[in-house]
Chain A
Amino acid sequence: MQILKPIGNSVLYVGQTVGEMIALLCEMLYFFKEAPRNLTSIFRQMSIVGIETLPIAMLVALFVGMVLSVQTGSELALYGTQEAIGAIVGLSMVKELGPVMTSLLVAGRVGSSMAAEIGAMQVYEEIDALKTLEINPVRYLAMPRLIACLFAVPALVAFAMVVGIIGGGIVAEVNPKIDVPFNVYYENMTRAINYKDIVKGLFKAMVFGGIIAHVGCYVGFKASGGARGIGESTTRSVVLSFLLIMIANYLLTRFMI
């Protein structure tokens, strides 16, 4: 019977975490009605999520596109089908790599910082102070972050898609093993991608953005135990975000095909 105790405790812990996360999500969605009053805060968060992450997201997307092009292009060249490289890089960037890679980057950079910031506020009694000032912490801290991520992550992904495709095109043009002119690359790419693919990719990014903000805020609110607790909350937020993004990616891909 002793062996059942830790299993039961783990089940209870997971059940409690899921329940609390759903409750937090419902509360954040409820406070969307207060969004017009919190535009300053929402735009500040958008700036942190979007503008401050843009350079590194562009750099990552550029190299992802280039690596994809050089790896796939050289294999395709063996069979003389390297002209399809535009379609392959384009579809990969729009449907998968753009949304997933950028979201993982945002989860690591912004989600962890949200968890640390809110976690520090929790540990140092600032959340309690908000409550005694009759300010709902979910409305004041979590809702603006969720809205910011819902809009800023798709915007980042849109840029990442474009930059990744351009990176792939440059490699296809200059790499002698591939040697596909940019206009051919572009033509193949536009023939393969339709606007529905782009919308689906951006929708994925929006869901991933929501996951990042939701997890970052939840883990932050649950932080305890001083500096060590804050450190642990950043790690937890990154791990949980990565996991949920991967699960959501599979489910979204499965149902959007």
Chain B
Amino acid sequence: MFSDDKSNGGNFLGNFWAKVAHGFSPAIIEGETCQIYHEGSNGVSIEIEKLNKSFGDHHVLKDIDLSIKPGETFSIIGPSGTGKSLLLKHIVKLIEADSGRIIINGHDIEDPEVRNGSSDFRYSMVFQSSALFNSLTVGENVGLWLREKRICPEVRIRRIIQEKLRLVGLEGKEELRTSELSGGMKKRVAIARSLAMNPDLILYDEPTAELDPVTSDELARVIMSLKDKVKLTTIIVSHDLNFALYLSNRVAMMHDGEIIALGTPEEIKKSQNPIVRNFIYTTTKGIQGEGD
């Protein structure tokens, strides 16, 4: 997606020493601006066609067809073990499908230009466990992608870190170790780390898992505020129905590796599908105000 900085020095020795100097410094690019850094995010469209995945005899994803519009907040709900997270991992290329296609902004993700990262969109994922790096501070976690890509001067990276932490309500927490954070804070740092890439697509895998209702609510507000501030496509995988219905433009319900219901939150709430109704009843004991 981004080429490395090769502008320093016109000869082999010059390039070599520039690399060595980089080795000892997080970022030595001079000036205030980034070399290649898309300042804004643009939502991407996603088309999933006949996606299948099996592990041995276990057919986990069965002919999944899905269409997600640019800028949409889309939730995939369903009980544990129905293949929701697996579907997410296919979209970010962590797992390869047995058959079927995933097309993002018109590009099949198996195309070489997408595979080697030279496509015109960026994606990022917030993992269920937050997946923060324990050896790094909060600020270093958030700035990791920028520093590894070496596309921005250090002064700019620090500013981006501050800006992204402010977006998730963790201003001034750059120097904290990840072990000093609560579960909710870890999730928010993970979101800030994803936002530092200015992604066009952000995926949340069970964002409310292991969080108490108050912290879940805080997180929902953070994601909701991002919807207003950052234009990107969002996919949320959750078994927290209220969370998904509150945040999403559209919701799909998965059951036994298949999409069994798809629609707006209102349509899902009114679904007559017995599996959907049972899921709604067991997870919320009826949605407040809807009667059942």
Kindly supply a per-residue 1/0 record for chain A positions 32-43, scoring 1 wherever the CB is within 8 Å of any chain B CB and 0 otherwise. Answer: 000111111010
CB distance from B269 to the nearest CB of A (A): 32
- On whether A125 and B129 interact (CB within 8 A), knowing A132-B94, A132-B123, A134-B1, the answer reads yes
Contact B128 A39 (CB under 8 A): no
B149 at the interface (CB under 8 A from A): yes
Contacts of B22 in A (CB 8 A): 36-37
A3 at the interface (CB under 8 A from B): no
Interface residues on A, range: 10 to 19
A124 at the interface (CB under 8 A from B): yes
CB distance from B152 to the nearest CB of A (A): 15
Contacts of A40 in B (CB 8 A): 23-24
CB distance from B205 to the nearest CB of A (A): 8
Contact A134 B131 (CB under 8 A): no
- On whether A124 and B131 interact (CB within 8 A), knowing A131-B94, A132-B125, the answer reads yes
Contact B128 A125 (CB under 8 A): yes
Contact B131 A128 (CB under 8 A): yes
Closest partner residue, chain B, to A132 (CB atom): B125
Inter-chain CA distance A134–B197, complex, in Å, is 10
A186 at the interface (CB under 8 A from B): no
Inter-chain CA distance A38–B1, complex, in Å, is 20
Kindly supply a per-residue 1/0 record for chain A positions 124-136, scoring 1 wherever the CB is within 8 Å of any chain B CB and 0 otherwise. Answer: 1110110111110
Closest partner residue, chain B, to A140 (CB atom): B148
Kindly supply a per-residue 1/0 record for chain A positions 143-161, scoring 1 wherever the CB is within 8 Å of any chain B CB and 0 otherwise. Answer: 0000000000000000000
Kindly supply a per-residue 1/0 record for chain B positions 72-94, scoring 1 wherever the CB is within 8 Å of any chain A CB and 0 otherwise. Answer: 00000000000000000100111
Contacts of A131 in B (CB 8 A): 92-94
CB distance from B216 to the nearest CB of A (A): 20
- On whether A39 and B20 interact (CB within 8 A), knowing A124-B131, A126-B131, A132-B94, the answer reads yes
CB distance from A52 to the nearest CB of B (A): 15
B263 at the interface (CB under 8 A from A): no
Contact A133 B124 (CB under 8 A): yes
- On whether A125 and B127 interact (CB within 8 A), knowing A132-B92, A132-B94, the answer reads yes
B246 at the interface (CB under 8 A from A): no
How many residues of B are in contact with the other chain, CB < 8 A?
Answer: 28
B281 at the interface (CB under 8 A from A): no
Kindly supply a per-residue 1/0 record for chain A positions 99-131, scoring 1 wherever the CB is within 8 Å of any chain B CB and 0 otherwise. Answer: 000000000000000000000010011101101
Inter-chain CA distance A125–B129, complex, in Å, is 7
B23 interface neighbour in A38, A124, A125, A132, Cβ under 8 Å: A38
Contacts of B125 in A (CB 8 A): 128-129, 132
B37 at the interface (CB under 8 A from A): no
Contact B131 A36 (CB under 8 A): no
- On whether A133 and B144 interact (CB within 8 A), knowing A37-B19, A126-B133, A128-B94, the answer reads yes
Contact A133 B23 (CB under 8 A): no
Contacts of B132 in A (CB 8 A): 126
Contacts of A128 in B (CB 8 A): 89, 94, 125, 127, 131
Contacts of A135 in B (CB 8 A): 144-145, 148
Contacts of A124 in B (CB 8 A): 129, 131
Closest partner residue, chain A, to B23 (CB atom): A39
Inter-chain CA distance A243–B148, complex, in Å, is 36
Contacts of B131 in A (CB 8 A): 124-126, 128-129
Closest partner residue, chain A, to B131 (CB atom): A129
Inter-chain CA distance A132–B205, complex, in Å, is 13
Kindly supply a per-residue 1/0 record for chain B positions 118-162, scoring 1 wherever the CB is within 8 Å of any chain A CB and 0 otherwise. Answer: 000001110111011100000000001100111000000000000
Kindly supply a per-residue 1/0 record for chain B positions 92-113, scoring 1 wherever the CB is within 8 Å of any chain A CB and 0 otherwise. Answer: 1110000000000000000000
Contact B19 A133 (CB under 8 A): no
A133 interface neighbour in B89, B128, B150, B197, Cβ under 8 Å: B197
A39 interface neighbour in B24, B117, B129, B133, Cβ under 8 Å: B24
Contacts of A134 in B (CB 8 A): 1, 117, 145, 148-149
Contact B23 A36 (CB under 8 A): yes
- On whether A133 and B20 interact (CB within 8 A), knowing A124-B131, A126-B131, A128-B131, the answer reads no
Contacts of A125 in B (CB 8 A): 127-129, 131
Inter-chain CA distance A125–B186, complex, in Å, is 14
CB distance from B26 to the nearest CB of A (A): 8
Which A-B residue pairs are the 10 nearest by beta carbons? A39-B23, A129-B131, A36-B19, A125-B131, A125-B127, A132-B125, A36-B20, A133-B145, A126-B131, A37-B22
Query: 20 A-B contacts, Cβ less than 8 Å apart?
Result: A37-B23, A39-B20, A121-B133, A125-B128, A125-B129, A126-B131, A128-B89, A128-B127, A129-B125, A129-B133, A131-B92, A132-B94, A132-B124, A133-B124, A133-B193, A133-B197, A134-B117, A134-B148, A135-B144, A135-B148
Chain B contact residues, CB within 8 Å of chain A? 1, 16, 19-20, 22-24, 89, 92-94, 117, 123-125, 127-129, 131-133, 144-145, 148-150, 193, 197
Beyond known contacts A128-B89, A132-B124: 10 more, CB 8 A cutoff: A37-B23, A37-B150, A38-B23, A39-B20, A125-B127, A128-B94, A129-B131, A132-B92, A133-B148, A134-B117
